[in-house]
Amino acid sequence: CTDRFTQDYLNLPQVKSAIHVEGKLTWTDCNSMIAERYNRTSSALPKYKGNLQTNVSALIYSGDADAVVNFIGTERWIGSTEGLGLKVKSKWSPWYGPDKQLAGYSQTYAGLTFKTVKGAGHMVPAIRPLHALYMFECFVYGQDACDSF
């Protein structure tokens, strides 16, 4: 229930003052009115085709206990021909956290790495904070940082 505590906290007058929010703004986690108004793009795949042609690295990760935007669909838009159809460079294999526990599975493609995070939901760091931090720092700093985490 940390999302509820967060909402109560951010609406405390002394918190709003500390973070320089003026006036009578009320903070909510999500604004349903914007969600309803928003003209959503049906697919980001055309953007990937250009973005993957550069040296900018990409990590896509999936908490495997999320049904809503789940890893099955994610793997399909990365690897299948109905999606990007990226070629596999390194096949599906387990990855382990600094606690030596199985943290998920990983597959690398040309220009993109896909990892699952075992047991995590939609908000991965909320459920698997250690494995999420490790995965993130390994992505940013590389294998040496991973090894000395």
Partner 1 sequence: AQAHQVDELPNYKGNNPINFHHYAGHIDLPSNGQKMFYWHVESQHSPENDPLVLWLNGGPGCSSLGGFFTEIGPFVVQRDLSVKLNQYTWARKTNLVFLESPAGVGFSQPVLNATDYNDEFTSDRAFEFLEQFTKAYPQFKNRDFYITGESYAGIYIPFLVEKMLQTPTTGLNLKGYAIGNPFTDAKIDGNAYVDYYYTHALISMESYNDIVDKCSDELSGCLFSTTNCSKPCHEAVVDSPITSDTPYLNPYYIYGDVCV
The correct pick among 24, 25, 91, 147 for binding partner 1 (CB under 8 A) is 25
Q: Does 18 bind partner 1 (CB under 8 A)?
A: yes
Cα angle at 133 between 129 and 136, to 5 degrees? Answer: 140
Q: Does 144 bind partner 1 (CB under 8 A)?
A: no
The correct pick among 24, 31, 85, 98 for binding partner 1 (CB under 8 A) is 31
The correct pick among 98, 108, 121, 146 for binding partner 1 (CB under 8 A) is 121
Q: Which is nearer to partner 1, 3 or 88 (CB)?
A: 3
Q: Does 73 bind partner 1 (CB under 8 A)?
A: yes
Token readout for 98 is 């600094």
134-to-38, 55, 61, 105 alpha-carbon distances in Å: 34, 23, 13, 14
Instruction: Determine the Cα–Cα distance for residues 37 and 76; give it in Å rounded to an integer.
Output: 29
User: How many residues line the site for partner 1 (CB under 8 A)?
Assistant: 82
Instruction: Determine the Cα–Cα distance for residues 79 and 86; give it in Å rounded to an integer.
Output: 5
Count CB atoms within 10 A of the CB of residue 115: 22
Q: Does 101 bind partner 1 (CB under 8 A)?
A: no
CB of 108 vs partner 1, minimal distance in Å:
14
The correct pick among 24, 35, 100, 144 for binding partner 1 (CB under 8 A) is 35
Q: Which is nearer to partner 1, 103 or 124 (CB)?
A: 124
Instruction: Determine the Cα–Cα distance for residues 133 and 129; give it in Å rounded to an integer.
Output: 6
